[in-house]
Amino acid sequence: MSMPSNQTPTNEKSGKRLILVVVVIALAAAAASWWYRYSATHRAAQFWGPQAATLIRDAPHVTLRSDASSDEPRDISEARGLTHLRNALLEDDSYDWSAAGPSDTNWDSSLVFETSAGAEPRAVILFSPDFQWAANGSSGNPAQHAVSVGPIAEGLKKFFADQSAESQPES
């Protein structure tokens, strides 16, 4: 018994439906992923500004300065852990947005994110000596543009200490 030529087999219809369901699920997952990333990073991106946020995420040249250890500025563009630091600086959960501003405006350390050494545009992030505060060093008055980085302070201390240790000559 043969099937009439004007009828489509049932499994062909269910295959088309399956493809449609997979495409709809993929689009929903992509939208959910985009929304999650946006909601997890939008406040930090607003704080730093769009250009600085882009530089923090993508700048090929990163310099670390640490006055506390009197190190010369150090190119850390290829430093171990830099990718994680970049991500942390752009995550809203890395900040205590409710903390009152710092009483001490002594900024001992900084990170400079640039497209190339000494070039504009650049993003400068200043850190307090205890790494509890970060400020936008590109603004006219960093103390007015400071935020608590208490949730990641220990990681910042370790990162800066590791970079200082790597810059010390071997004995």
Report the C-alpha gap between 133 and 141 in whole angstroms: 14
List the alpha helices (DSSP H) in 71-145: 82-89
pLDDT at 3: 53
Provide the residue type at 63 as one letter: T
Residue 75 is inside which H or E element, if any?
strand 74-75
Domains in the chain, number: 1
Question: Percent of the chain, pLDDT > 90?
Answer: 50
Q: Residue 143 is part of which domain span? A: 10-167
User: Has residue 2 been placed in a domain?
Assistant: no
Across residues 107-114, what is the average pLDDT? Answer: 92
Residue labelled with tokens 């670390």? 64
Model confidence pLDDT, tens digit, residues 46-97: 999 999 999 999 999 999 988 755 568 899 999 999 999 999 999 999 999 9
Q: What local confidence, expressed as pLDDT, does residue 171 receive?
A: 45
What local confidence, expressed as pLDDT, does residue 9 receive? 58
Q: CA–CA separation, 15 vs 143, rounded Å?
A: 61
25: in domain = yes
* Predicted pLDDT of residue 160: 92
Identify the CA nearest to 56 among candidates 128, 121, 123.
Answer: 123
Give CA–CA dist 47/84, Å, rounded: 19
Q: Does the residue 62 lie in any domain?
A: yes
Assess if residue 3 is contained within a domain: no
Q: Note the pLDDT of residue 11.
A: 63
Q: Does residue 5 form part of some domain?
A: no
Q: What is the pTM of this model?
A: 0.74
The pLDDT of residue 7 is 58
| Biggest distance spanned by C-alpha atoms of the chain | 90
Q: Is residue 152 part of a domain?
A: yes
24 belongs to a structural domain: yes
Tokens 């689009």, residue?
27
Q: Is residue 4 part of a domain?
A: no
Mean pLDDT of 19-47: 86
Give whole-number Cα distances, 164 to 65, 96, 106, 139, 152, in Å. Answer: 10, 27, 19, 26, 18
Structure confidence at residue 138 as a pLDDT band (50, 70, 90): confident
Residues linked to residue 113 through DSSP beta bridges, in sequence order: 62, 123
Are 77 and 127 spatial neighbours (Cβ–Cβ below 8 Å)?
Answer: no
Cβ atoms of 117 and 61 closer than 8 Å: yes
